[in-house]
Amino acid sequence: MTSEDIKNLILEIIKDIDDEADFEGLDHDKALRDQLELDSMDFLDIVMELRKRHKLQIPEEDYPHLATLNSCVNYLQPLLKDA
């Protein structure tokens, strides 16, 4: 997956959690949670959807790597290189 694919994947999952999520002006280096009003319960959905869709097991201590869109790319790209 390219970095663009990974960003789209994350945004698609968020859209699925909240169909009114507004991505306009989203800063790729700022926390998704703060910008999109996601709480910790919503955030777990991202982790679980990644697991369901791509069989990714993300350990709890790695959750902080999914904080921003760009950190998602950095963390997920090696894991999804063949996807």
Binding site for other proteins (CB under 8 A): 17-18, 37, 39, 41-42, 44-45, 47-49, 51-52, 60
For other proteins, the closer CB: 30 or 53: 53
24 vs 29, which CB is nearer to other proteins?
Answer: 24
Contact 69, 25 (CB under 8 A): no
Q: What phi-psi label fits residue 23: left (phi over 0), alpha (psi between -120 and 50 degrees) or beta?
A: alpha
Toward other proteins, which CB reaches closer, 4 or 60?
Answer: 60
The two three-digit tokens of residue 40, written as one number: 């910790």
